[in-house]
Amino acid sequence: MRRPVIAGNWKMFKTVDEAVETVASLATLVDGVSDREVIVAPTFVGLAAVARAARGTNVSIAAQDCAPEPGQGAFTGEVSAEMLADAGATHVIVGHSERRQFFGETDDTVNAKAKAALGAGLTPIVCVGEQLSDRDAGRAEVVVEGQICGSLSGLTAEEVVRTIVAYEPVWAIGTGRSATPEIAQQMHRLIRETIAKLVGADVSEAIRILYGGSVKAENISALMKEPDIDGGLVGGASLDAESFARIVRYGY
Ligand code: PGA
CA of 166 from ligand 1 middle (Å) equals 11
Ligand 1 centroid to residue 231 C-alpha, Å:
13
Rounded (10°) angle between helices 16-29 and 44-54: 30
Q: What are phi and psi of 179, to 5 degrees?
A: -65, 150
Determine the structural domain holding residue 158 and report its residue range: 5-248
For residue 177, name the pLDDT band (cuts at 50, 70, 90).
Answer: confident
Q: Are 29 and 245 in contact (CB under 8 A)?
A: yes
- Read off the pLDDT of residues 31-63 as tens digits, 9 standing for 90 and up: 999 999 999 999 999 999 999 999 999 999 999
Mean pLDDT of 112-141: 97
Q: What is the mean pLDDT of the chain?
A: 97
Burial of residue 6 (number of CB atoms within 10 Å: 0-12, 13-18, 19+): buried
Using alpha carbons only, what angle is made at residue 117 by residues 29 and 84, rounded to the nearest 5 degrees? 55
> What's the domain count of the chain?
1
- CATH number for the domain that contains residue 49: 3.20.20.70
Which residues sit with their C-beta closer than 6 Å to ligand 1? 9, 168, 173-174, 212-215, 233-237
Nearest CA to ligand 1 atom 6: 235
Write down the catalytic residue from 37, 82, 91, 96. 96
Strand locations in the chain (E): 5-9, 37-41, 59-63, 91-94, 123-128, 164-167, 208-212, 231-234
Q: What is the pTM assigned to this prediction?
A: 0.98
| Whether residue 168 lies in the annotated active site | yes
Is the pLDDT at 1 greater than 90, yes or no?
no
The single residue of 82, 98, 159, 168 carrying the catalytic annotation is: 168
pLDDT of 165 higher than 90: yes
Q: What percent of the chain has pLDDT over 70?
A: 100
